[in-house]
Structure 1
Amino acid sequence: MDEVKFYVGLDVHKDSIAIAFARAHLRDDPQFVGTTRYSVISLTKALSKLGKPAELSVCHEAGPCGYGLVRALREQGYRCEVVAPSRVARRPADRIKTDRRDALLLARLHRAGELVPVAIPEPADEAIRDLVRAREDAVNDQRRMRQRLKSFLLRHGHAYTGTRWGPKHELFLSKIKFEEPAQHIVFTEYRMAVRFATELVERLTQSLRAHAETWRWLPVVKGLMTLRSIDIISALTIVAELGDLRRFPHPREFMGYLGLVPSEHSSGNSKQRGRLTRTGNRHVRRILVEAAWNYRLPARIGESLQPRLEGQPRHIIDIAWKAQVRLCHRFRRLRSRGLHQNKTCAAIARELCGFIWDIGTRLQPA
C-alpha cells in the first residue's frame, strides 16, 4: 500500500465542492485547490492533479448529501472518510465561515488525526434505516393530524372521554353534526387526514416487517426483542440506526454516544454535573427512554414477551432476564428515594444500553 502524501479536506454542498489539501509529514499550512461542481468526475479530475488515489486520504463532513460521494470515491481506490461535524474543533474567535476556510480546516485536522469518522452503512442497511425513519415520520404526522381533530372538537364542545381511535370513538365521530356547513367541511377534512395518516403508518409497518425477514441483521433484531419493552419496531430502529454494536469497545462509550450520560463541568476541586448531554442518535435515545418506563412494573414474562423468547439461545435469554430483574428493582429503588420519574427513566435507559450492547456484540449478522 502506498504511503499517504496528501490529506484532502472537502467542503461538500449540493452544488459545489471546495477542495483543500495538507502535505503529510510536514507542518506547513494547508493549501486551497479550488471549488468544483458537485460531480464525482469533476472531483476525481481535480484530485488526480495531487497524486494517485492510494496517495490521498480524503474526508468530508456528514451532511444532507448522504454517502454517495464517499462510496464513489472508495470504488475508485481513494481512502475516504465521513467525519462527524459536531466533533470538528473550531476556535471560538473564528467569526468568519466560508467554504474555503472549512476545507482548509478539515485538511489540517485530518492530517493531525483529530477528526472522528462516522460509521458508513451498507446500501441495504441504509435502505432499512430510511424505511424506519419514514415510518417514524408517518407516526409523527398521524399524531399531529389527530391532535388537530381533537382540538377542533374540543373548541366546539365535542370532547370524548373514553379511549380514542377505536370502534367506539369512530361511532362517536360519525354522530357529530355542526350547524354551519363550513365547520362540517373542516371536520370531514380532519377525519380524512387522520384516516389517510393511519393507513400510511399501517402500510409502512407492513413493509418494514416484510423487508426485515430477509435482512442480514435479523438475528440481532430477534435477540434484542428478548428484552422487555423492545418489540420488533423498536429493535429494528436500534439496529438500523446503530449498525454493528461491536464498533463500541465498551458499553460506557455506547451510553455516551446516545447522549444518556450527564454533562459535567469540573475544574480543580469543583465538580458540577448537569442535564443529559443528549448527543448522538436521537431516534434510538427516544426508543430507550420510552422503553425504560415499562420497567416500573414487577419483573415477569408476559404473553407478549413469551413468543419472542422462543428459538433464542439460552445465554441471550439469560441476559434479557437478568436485565429485567435488575432494571425493575432499580426503577422501584430510585422512585422510593424520591427521584423524579423522568430522571429515573433516563437512568434506566442508560443501564438498558449496557444490556443491548451485550446482546448486540454476542450475535452475528446472517
Structure 2
Amino acid sequence: MIDTTTFVGLDVHARSIKAVALDIMTGEVKSATFGYDAAAVADWVRSVDPAARCVYESGVTGFDLQKKLSDLGVDCVVGAVSKMIKPAADRRRKNGRNDAEFLARMLSVGNVAEVWVPDDECEAARDLTRALEDARDDLKRSKQRLSKFLLRHGLVFDEKTPSGQRKKNWTQAYWSWVKSTSFAERADNEVLSYYVDDVKQAAESKARLEGLVKAEAGKPRWKRRVDSLCRLKGIDVMMAADLVFEAGEFSRSKNARSFAARVGLTPSEHSSGESVRKGGIAKAGNKHLRKTPVEAAWHHPTCSAHSKDLAKGQAPDQAARRHAAKGVRRLVTRRGSMLERGMHKNKANVATAHELACWAWAVGLMAEEGREKRPASPSGRAAIVRT
C-alpha cells in the first residue's frame, strides 16, 4: 500500500535531470531541471512532498541515482523501459518534460514494472564478468586481425602431424610459424609485430580477469551457489559465476518457467483470435544471462549421463548436488532424443538451453536457501521449442 499522493518522474541524462511531480489529488504538476546532482533532486522532492515516490527509466545511467536518492531518504524505483506502455502519439513530441510527466503518471496508476536493484557488491561482481566477456571479444578480434593480415599476404598455417592431421591455430607450433614469418617491406613487419603483441596483451587481460572472477566466485556469499551450479554439465566456474552474479538472487523468480522467461529463452508468440503462431525465442531480459546456458548446452551432445566429479575445493549444497545429477541425466537423454527425431542442431541446442536454465534456477535456489526440499519441477516441458 502506497501512502502518498505525489509521484515524481525523472528523465535522467548524463549531465542533466528533468523532474516532474504530479499530485493525483489536486492534479497539480510541478517541474524542475537539475544537473546530475542527487542531493539537489532530493531537496526538491522533499520540498514538494517528503512522502513522494520517484521513478526513472532503466538505461545506460544504471542504478547510481536510485542508490544515492535512497541513501538520502527519497523513495525511488527504476522502471523497466522495455515494459513501458507509451502512446504512439508521443513519438512526435518527445522531450524531457513530457517523458518525466509520463513516468509520473504511469507510477501513479501502478503501470511501472520495477527493476530489481543489485547492491554494490553484486553490481561489482557483474561488472567483472561483463569485463571478462569484453576481454574475450577483444581477444577474438585481435586473433582475427592477425590471421586475416597474414591471409592477405598469402600466408596460411598448414603444418600437419605425422599422422597427417592438420595442426590447429594458436598452438605453440602456430606461434613458432608466426615468429619465423618476415616480409620484404619494413612496414609489414611492424604491422605483424603490432598484431602479435595485440593478441598476447588481449590473452593476458583475459587470463587476469578470469583469475579475478574466480576469486570473486570463491567469496562466501557466492561460493555455495557457484559450486552447486558447477554440478550441471557444460557449466564451469566462469559460467556458474556469470549465472549467479547476473541473477543476483534466484528467489526473485517464482518458478523455473518465469526464470527462463526473464532470461528470454521461451518461444515468442504472435497470436490473434483463433490463430496461434509461435516463433523463435523472445530474447527478452538479460542477454548476458541468456548467453551462458546457450553456450553450455553445446556440451550436451557429447556428455554422458553420469554426474560430474567434484573438483578440488568445491563444496556444493548436498540437496542441490543430488538435484543437479537428476538434471544432467534428463538433459543428456532429452538432447539425444531431439537429435534422433531429426531436430535441427541449433533448435535442439536452444531447447536444451531453455531447460538447462530451468535446472540452473532450481539448483541455484536450493543452494541459495539451503533447502532440503525440492522446488517446483524445473523441466518446463510445455514451453521448450516446437518442432
> Considering the TM-score relative to the shorter chain, is it more than 0.5?
yes
Query: Structure 1, residues 272-324: CA drift from partner, whole Å, max 9, x if none?
Result: 1111111111112111101011111242448x744279543432222111111
Query: Structure 1, residues 91-139: CA drift from partner, whole Å, max 9, x if none?
Result: 2232221111110110011011111111111111111111111111111
Against the structure 1 CA distance between its residues 2 and 306, is the aligned structure 2 distance closer, same or farther, given a 3 Å change threshold? closer
1:33 corresponding residue in structure 2: 31
Against the structure 1 CA distance between its residues 128 and 310, is the aligned structure 2 distance closer, same or farther, given a 3 Å change threshold? closer
User: Are 2:182 and 1:186 equivalent residues in the alignment?
Assistant: no
Q: Which amino acid aligns with 1:288?
A: P
Q: Distance in 1 between matches of 2:228 and 2:77?
A: 31
**How far has the Cα of 1:360 moved from its partner?**
1.5
Q: How does 1:1-366 map to 2 (within 5 A)?
A: 3-24=3-24, 26=25, 31-52=29-50, 55-95=51-91, 96-161=93-158, 162-301=167-306, 305-307=309-311, 311-364=315-368
**How far has the Cα of 1:2 moved from its partner?**
8.6
**How far has the Cα of 1:210 moved from its partner?**
2.1
SS in 2 for 1:49: helix
Q: Is the 8 A contact 1:225 1:308 kept in 2?
A: no
Against the structure 1 CA distance between its residues 233 and 2, is the aligned structure 2 distance closer, same or farther, given a 3 Å change threshold? closer
Q: Distance in 2 between matches of 1:339 and 1:93?
A: 44
Q: Is the 8 A contact 1:17 1:37 kept in 2?
A: yes
| RMSD, aligned α-carbons | 2.0
Q: Which amino acid aligns with 2:4?
A: V
Query: Structure 1, residues 335-357: CA drift from partner, whole Å, max 9, x if none?
Result: 12221111111100000111111
Q: Is the 8 A contact 1:29 1:108 kept in 2?
A: no
Q: Which amino acid aligns with 2:258?
A: E
Against the structure 1 CA distance between its residues 3 and 313, is the aligned structure 2 distance closer, same or farther, given a 3 Å change threshold? closer
Q: Is the 8 A contact 1:220 1:365 kept in 2?
A: no
Query: Structure 1, residues 233-279: CA drift from partner, whole Å, max 9, x if none?
Result: 10111111110010100111111111111111111111111111111
Q: Is the 8 A contact 2:57 2:80 kept in 1?
A: yes
Against the structure 1 CA distance between its residues 31 and 215, is the aligned structure 2 distance closer, same or farther, given a 3 Å change threshold? farther
**How far has the Cα of 1:195 moved from its partner?**
0.6
**How far has the Cα of 1:225 moved from its partner?**
0.9
Name the count of aligned residue pairs.
Answer: 361
Q: Is the 8 A contact 1:11 1:99 kept in 2?
A: yes
Q: Is the 8 A contact 1:226 1:308 kept in 2?
A: no
List alignment gaps of at least 5 residues for structure 2.
Answer: 159-166, 371-387
- Percent of counterpart pairs with the same letter? 33
**How far has the Cα of 1:30 moved from its partner?**
6.8
**How far has the Cα of 1:365 moved from its partner?**
7.5
Q: Is the 8 A contact 1:8 1:59 kept in 2?
A: yes
Against the structure 1 CA distance between its residues 68 and 298, is the aligned structure 2 distance closer, same or farther, given a 3 Å change threshold? closer
Q: Distance in 1 between matches of 2:316 and 2:130?
A: 27
Q: Is the 8 A contact 2:224 2:316 kept in 1?
A: no
Q: Distance in 2 between matches of 1:333 and 1:30?
A: 63
List alignment gaps of at least 5 residues for structure 1.
Answer: none
Query: Structure 1, residues 20-64: CA drift from partner, whole Å, max 9, x if none?
Result: 12224x4x7572412111102211221122121xx1111111122
Against the structure 1 CA distance between its residues 153 and 301, is the aligned structure 2 distance closer, same or farther, given a 3 Å change threshold? farther
